Structure 1
């Protein structure tokens, strides 16, 4: 019996040792992590895809924005169905709603859209997507104001062999 009581006491030792640590008592404090002279730092991740890789997506947004200024319903082909229904919720979607959306823009916004360029894009937010912020668009004159069909950010994704505006 003497051996059994010793084994029972030994079995309780690990439990008693971990209880104070679990309650936050007697936990050792760790110094802040600092890089050492020989440590390799992680490579900086660029959020910009190479211009050649994003060119097709940027061209789709370019055509869409210039198409809004022209009132050309052909640009509706550049919209994913979910984005089209969110942006043009009335029956007929983009093809029927484009003229009304253009009419809600200020005249100077329509003029600005006629000269817009899309020089840069960012990778993401998801794998295989490209995002273009409104403030990254370039204008020959006064820029258009975002709002309505002019989103603050555009997300494009590849669907088959073409790019579509998805968000």
Structure 2
């Protein structure tokens, strides 16, 4: 069946007239639903701006491990380095071995990790649980260099992983 152009215009004309004009219906402001878990901030989490330097230190460490960059060892306190690598100063020589134990899947996951939240604790320390890390793809598995939680402590002017 062939439709004449003038007939099609006659049918569309009322629809086109509804666009614009003074009687526009405005959309109400968008507000999150209270039950939406994407907007729920854990009760012990601090404001994102307040914890940004600590979260950035952990982010750089994890991404440095993914890249095999020994400069990421600077983000470890001597106590944490002793616990993970056996003695202070052994991170630089032991990072490649520890990274190899993670396996290719975990190393690939670390390349897309972010640290969205950090809980402030006693003495100003920040704690990031492994479950709070966000992954671009499939998440890594905890173990080895990837602790169940990371405690970050401000030493002098920068943040380091203390536990």
The residue aligned with 1:83 is 80
Match of 2:67 among 67, 70, 76: 70
Partner of 1:42: none
For 1:120 and 1:154, locate their aligned partners in 2 and report how far apart those are by CA, in whole Å. 12
Long gaps (5+) in structure 1: 1-44
The structure with the larger Rg is 1
Q: How has the CA–CA distance of structure 1 residues 101 and 49 changed in structure 2, closer, same or farther, with 3 Å as cutoff?
A: same
TM-score normalized by structure 2? 0.72
Q: 2:157 matched to which residue of 1?
A: 161
- CA deviation profile, 1:57-94 (whole Å, cap 9, x unmatched): 00000000011111000000010000011111168510
Q: Is 1:137 matched up with 2:125?
A: no
Cα shift readout 1:113-148 (whole Å, capped 9, x = no counterpart): 001000011111x22000000010000111000000
Q: How does 1:24-63 map to 2 (within 5 A)?
A: 46-63=43-60
Residue 133 and residue 91 in structure 1: after superposition, are their counterparts in 2 closer, same or farther (change >3 A)?
closer
Q: Deviations over 1:138-159 (max 9, x none)?
A: 0011100000011000000111
Aligned partners of 2:100, 2:45: CA distance in 1, in Å?
34
What RMSD, in angstroms, separates the aligned Cα atoms of the two structures? 1.5
- Structure 2 residue aligned with 1:99: 96
How is 1:1-16 mapped onto 2 (pairs within 5 angstroms)?
A: none
1:91 to 1:79, Cα distance in 2 relative to 1, 3 A: closer
**How many Å separate the matches in 2 of 1:86 and 1:127?**
21
CA contact (8 A) 1:61 1:118 kept: yes
Taking structure 1 as the reference length, what is the TM-score of the superposition? 0.70
